[in-house]
Amino acid sequence: MYIKIPEHKYSMTFLENPFVRQTLFEFDSLLKAPFDVPEMWWIVAPLLAVIFIMTFYFGKYIKEKLGYNTALGNSVVLFFVCIDLLRHIYNYTSPASFENYAWNPLTTAIILMIILESILLLSAAFEHALPEKVMYFIASPVAVNVQAYVMAAIVYTQSEPTFYTFMAALLLFIIMIVILRIVKEIEHLTLGYHFKKTVPEKKSKK
């Protein structure tokens, strides 16, 4: 004889939720994009390199912060990535045609909006129009490069962006922040241990 434990009526409802399932599907599509379209690696590889190099740099030099000059550079990168994405849309067909923009109005409009955003960020960084901490957040390598990556995934896979794509991008942004934070903390611990081992203790004066 055994007692049957009734299944909780709320079990699995989270993953079965249509909103969650569609968001996770779009998230999975974003992650698979470079593998589905290998040509995308020409954009993705430099973006990932910049994110991790900057993370390791600021993890090592803790007292340094992202300055206006770095924010300016990130804005320029975002601008030229979007220009390249417009070029890619132009070459969707053979021969290339400006009509491709008309056939992909939403994607084109989003890219143009991000170009405008990059120009505004560039101007704000150039003129020091915003507080440094604000620029540090909105023009950080993660914020800028996640936008570039998501749009590259949409353009190179020739998919239509939806509300769920935006939610998947937000999820990717949060996960990247968490991962990079963990990497930075591990680097802090490693460097702290290395510093203690390499710097001899000063003898106390009698």
Matching residue, tokens 């954009």: 43
First to last CA, the chain: 78
Reference 89, options 44, 38, 151; nearest CA is: 151
Reference 66, options 13, 169, 118, 141; nearest CA is: 141
Judge whether 161 and 30 are in contact, CB under 8 Å: no
- Which pLDDT band holds residue 54 (cuts at 50, 70, 90)? confident
Host domain of residue 49: 45-188
Tell me if 114 is assigned to some domain: yes
pLDDT above 90 as % of the chain: 52
> Buried b / exposed e across 47-80, counting CB within 10 Å, b at 16+?
beebbeebbeebbeeeeeebebebbbbbbebbbe
> Could you say which DSSP state residue 92 is in?
S
- Which pLDDT band holds residue 91 (cuts at 50, 70, 90)? very high
Number of domains observed in the structure of the chain: 1
Tell me if 74 is assigned to some domain: yes
pTM of the model: 0.81
Mean pLDDT of the chain: 84
Mean pLDDT is lowest, of 78-82, 143-147, 172-176, 189-193, for 189-193
Tell me if 37 is assigned to some domain: no
